[in-house]
Structure formats: C-alpha cells, structure tokens
Structure 1
C-alpha cells in the first residue's frame, strides 16, 4: 500500500496542484475540506487533470475546531499543511486572518506530533520573510530572514503568516522534532488553474486581461509558478536534508507594467494597460481606497528572494515568471474567466 499523506486545503489553488503531484507520484492522498460537499468537485478536477483518483480520500476539518483532526491522522505518514487564509482585500479585524492561520497550524502540527507523523511540510510565505525591513536593503531575502512585525507598513496578512510560521517552529522545537518540519515560503503564485476558481493571485492577471486596470501602478511582484511550489512540497517531504529548513521561492521580480507587456504580446486585441500610473496618482487614489492604501508600502520597492535552496531541492531551474503569468492567462481564458 502506498504511503498516505494528509493534505490540508486540497480545494485551494496550491493544494490542488500539490494533490495532483502527490497522486502522480503514487501516494495515497487524504485531502481535507471544510465541507465534504466540495469533495466531488475536487475529485472531478483532479481526474480531469489526469490523476488516478482511486488513491484519493477526503475528510472534513476546520482550522478553528478540534473535531476530526486526530482521526484524520490515522495511518498518515506525512502531513502537507497548505490550508491558511490568503486574501487580496485585508479585513478590518486582523484576527480574521491571524486566528485561523495560527490556530490551524497549532491543531495540525500538535496532532501530527501526537500521532507520530514522520515529516511535516508547511506552506508559509514570503510574507513571513521580507517585510518590515529598511527599504535601502538591496540584497536578497533568504532563509535566515524574518519579517519585522514592528517594522513600517506590515499588514495583517504578513503578520498572520509570520506568527503562524514562528508558532510552527516553536511547536516542533518543543517536541524535539525541529528537523521533522520543512517550510516552503513562496512569493506571489501564478500558473495554470485546475478549475474555474480564479483564487487570489490569478485575479491580478484577470484584471489586466479584462481592462479593469486602466494604468499599472509601479508595484513589483516577486513571482513563482504553482507547479514549482507543488514540486517543492513533494520533494521536501522525503528529501532527508530538507528537514529543519525554510525554502524561499521567487523566480524573479517584475512590475505590473512588465506583466501587462507580457500579456499584450499574447493577447494584442485585449484592453491591457499600456501606461504606468505615476506614484503621486497612486498615493492620491489610495486616500479613497483602503485596499490600495494597505499595499502602499510596496510602491516601487523591489524585493528579491534567494531561491537557491529551493532550486537545489528541485534539482532544476525554476519556471520563468513570464511563463507562469502566461499559463495563468491561458487557463483563465480556457475557463472563460477572462
């Protein structure tokens, strides 16, 4: 019988790709969803993507409730904890993000430790590494870096990811199992959609394609392909020296206008923005739009990630950001979402 992996958040963009690669690698996947009513859609999506769904199981788990977690770990050798809130619109109450991120991590890791799960792979984020630092920094952010929660411009999402990952390491250290945890820290995730849910990062490409962005703000995006992130999750699960380590992942950093130019070459008939919005105009607009205001700290600030550890883990170069953005666009068009 193949090794069983508990995969939280299987219905998400990243979770679906992790499930696909695990199934293709021969693992039995037990995917968690908040409501088992989602199981049929996930099963159909993965089958359509070419997966053998005879090794696919489902359990209902809630990041904020204890029920079912211990039973979900029955017969599980590995845990892939990808479930965590991810938003573009920052909520008014930061605990809407922090509580499920931190408490979900606690439930997943404490139960995994109690049930003797061999290796845990946690999806964290660049948000836990590269924020709250002096903008004069021009060196890449690496595995040793942490977001400074007292730094200027740190938003609730970045706080939630930082607190959740720090809590994960605390739990594993307290259990004497530091080397049984591996953490993946992706930047903005693009790539092909598996279903008709555009998720979060894909909305950026969707808006560039549908003409709802008249001019591009001077905001850079550190980008990574979802297929690379999923492959890193699978590799980190069994690679002996991946334990006890963090793996920042960002292929390159491009500005919105560069993404628009990439898309225009493929879709010349679309109303894709040709101009970059002046910073003063973005600041003026931010006075009346909270979503823009929450991201003003990124205006013109280029961050690079040191992805060398992830490249070594995969044993190959990362998929170029331009390819990831085009793959996002192609799947949005295929699903008639743009």
Structure 2
C-alpha cells in the first residue's frame, strides 16, 4: 500500500474517474473533489463496477467558484491533480460563465497547494491552449493560442487563460513557497467511460453518429487520445523526476478526422452512421442560430499534427490506436443508451 495522498479535483467527470482509478490501482490514497457529496455513492458504485478497490478513496466538496474548503481539501496531500474545469463545445451566452470558473478555480487550487506544501501539482489543460487558430502544420509544448484570433471558441479561451494564469502564478512564487508544477495537454478525449454517464461531448457525438442523429460530419481533423492513456500520462506526470516545469502533449501524432471516425463505425456494423461531409457554409449559417455550431467554426478545415515526442519518450508511452478507442467507445455508449431507453 502507498501512504501518499493525491487530491483529484473533478473526480466524478469522464477523465477524473479514469485518473482516480489509475491512482487507486497503483495503491495511492485518493481524495476526490465533487461539487456535491451526493455524488459520492455514484463514484463508488462506478469504481466497484470497474473492479477498482475504493478502500483508499475519500471525498471532499469543492466548487471552482467558491473559496470554501480548498485549504482543508489539500491539507496532508502529497500531490494535487487539478482535472476539474467547466466544459462545453457550445459557446455560452456569456463567455465569462466558462472563463472565470476555469481561471479562478485553477488559482484556488494552486493557492491551496501552496498552503498545503504539496510536492507536485499537475494541471489538466488542453491542446487547445497550444493550437489555437492554426489550421495546418504542427504544434507542440512551445506553442500558445492567441485568444484574440477569429473564431477561437470560449472553451479554448478558458483553457488557454487558465493555463497561462497558472504558469504566471508559479513564476511569481517566492523561493520558500515553491513546489513542483507540470501540465498535461490532452487532445480530444475518446474511449469507453468508466461509468454509465455518457453525457460528455465525445460520447454524445459517438452516440449521435451510431444513432443516425448526425447525418453529416464537419470537415475537420482533430488531435485525439484515449481516455485511458490520459490517465496513465497523469500518473507519469505526477511521479517522473524530469516532469516538473514541462507541458506534455497528450494526443496522437496524426489528427483524426470526423469522416474517418464515421467510416470506421460504418465499416464495423453501425449502419445508421452518416458518412457525408457537411459543407462549411452550412455550419457557418447554423452558427448564427446554434451555439454548438458556432463553437465548431474554429475547427473547420483544421488538420494539425502534434509534437508528442517528449511525452512518448519520457513516459515510454505507446498510444492506443484510434480505431480501438472509437469502437470500444461505441460498444459502451450503445449499451448504455439502450439500457436507458428500455
């Protein structure tokens, strides 16, 4: 058994559940944050169904927009993995509804980590903070998004601004208060959910595809990664001696197109999947009426490679093939959707 304690914020989310499961399997004491302790039973049942021992799992109630409880939540923790962040593909009516919780929540977690004298803090950011308004070429750990560029989604802004605020906070710390800090930047996350919640953006998209609700797909290719790989990279970023002070690209080298995903599903028996590419003008027209379509505008025509060499070599990481991720996601999403409909 490992006596080290890890605070995982956003433990009930898609990524948070997988990260916590990885830590528990490795023997860590895991303290998970939820917005309401009513979520505790759901998380424990999800872990139990995945055959994860929860005897080393405890919970704290935290809100990204409130100061209450943060200092107490970090007290005695050796590490903090700050996974929690508001997410939606659709642009909100007021962008600060997403940006403020992302930035202030990150700073609250960092201030608590400072007070608790943790050994290392791992921030879950996104490749969106690197690739911004780029369309072609490649991006890597030295790349930063221009949040003022046209068609940059609110979610992209929130991740970029939160990560920049974190690096600035760490740079300004006096020497006596310093602790180790590293960032994981996942691409679009796919892979089977640990629990029965398929309301996440990727699972919803796969569900819409296999259910015939998405007759056309956007003309875009996006850096992707399996959620189980994301969890493993978080653990490596938390423990590897050379990880502090670095940003880790967590995505496949080659981008994954929406049309390739659709064709993979179609070729494997999901006959309702639409395999036509939506004309760009159609999404631009829809964006005047639909906030989710507007959130997609910045991705139109995108085809970017990721420079993930450092992540692969330092952590000895071999990415899960995207075909496997897509098909295993579809199996679970279809099973859950059918169970909920019956």
TM-score, length-scaled by structure 2: 0.93
Shift of 1:337: 5.5
- Is 1:7–1:19's contact at 8 Å kept on the other side of the alignment? yes
**2-side partners of 1:202 and 1:213: how far apart?**
13
- Is 2:4–2:78's contact at 8 Å kept on the other side of the alignment? yes
Aligned residue for 1:92?
93
Please tell me whether residue 149 in structure 1 is matched to residue 147 in structure 2: yes
Aligned residue for 2:227?
226
- Is 1:33–1:61's contact at 8 Å kept on the other side of the alignment? yes
Aligned residue for 1:258?
260
Aligned residue for 1:130?
131
Q: Give unpaired runs (5+ residues) of structure 2.
A: none
Aligned residue for 2:283?
282
- Is 2:114–2:179's contact at 8 Å kept on the other side of the alignment? no
**CA RMSD after TM alignment:** 1.7
Aligned residue for 1:187?
187
Deviations 1:123-157 (A, max 9, x none): 00011110134x4x52x200000001122221211
282 and 68 in structure 1: CA distance in 2 versus 1, 3 angstrom threshold: closer
- Is 1:232–1:313's contact at 8 Å kept on the other side of the alignment? no
**2-side partners of 1:159 and 1:84: how far apart?**
12
Deviations 1:31-77 (A, max 9, x none): 00010000000011011112110000000011111111111112100
279 and 178 in structure 1: CA distance in 2 versus 1, 3 angstrom threshold: farther
Partner residue of 1:267 out of 263, 269, 278: 269
**2-side partners of 1:280 and 1:123: how far apart?**
34
Q: In terms of mean alpha carbon deviation, does 289-298 or 108-117 score higher?
A: 289-298
Aligned residue for 1:158?
156
> What SS is found at the alignment partner of 1:104?
helix
**2-side partners of 1:159 and 1:9: how far apart?**
20
Partner residue of 2:171 out of 166, 170, 173: 173
Aligned residue for 1:302?
303
114 and 179 in structure 1: CA distance in 2 versus 1, 3 angstrom threshold: closer
Aligned residue for 2:82?
81
**2-side partners of 1:189 and 1:181: how far apart?**
23
**2-side partners of 1:316 and 1:333: how far apart?**
29
- Is 2:23–2:30's contact at 8 Å kept on the other side of the alignment? yes
Aligned residue for 1:249?
250
Q: In terms of mean alpha carbon deviation, does 214-223 or 182-191 score higher?
A: 214-223
- Is 2:207–2:334's contact at 8 Å kept on the other side of the alignment? no
- Is 2:90–2:294's contact at 8 Å kept on the other side of the alignment? no
**2-side partners of 1:26 and 1:261: how far apart?**
40
- Is 1:81–1:120's contact at 8 Å kept on the other side of the alignment? yes
- Is 1:196–1:337's contact at 8 Å kept on the other side of the alignment? no
Aligned residue for 1:332?
333
Aligned residue for 2:50?
49
Shift of 1:314: 2.7
- Is 2:89–2:155's contact at 8 Å kept on the other side of the alignment? no
Aligned residue for 1:238?
239
TM-score, length-scaled by structure 1: 0.94
Shift of 1:281: 3.5
**2-side partners of 1:285 and 1:149: how far apart?**
23
Shift of 1:178: 7.2
**2-side partners of 1:7 and 1:303: how far apart?**
31
Deviations 1:145-179 (A, max 9, x none): 00011222212111111110011111111114777
Aligned residue for 2:9?
8
**1-side partners of 2:249 and 2:53: how far apart?**
30
- Is 1:169–1:178's contact at 8 Å kept on the other side of the alignment? no
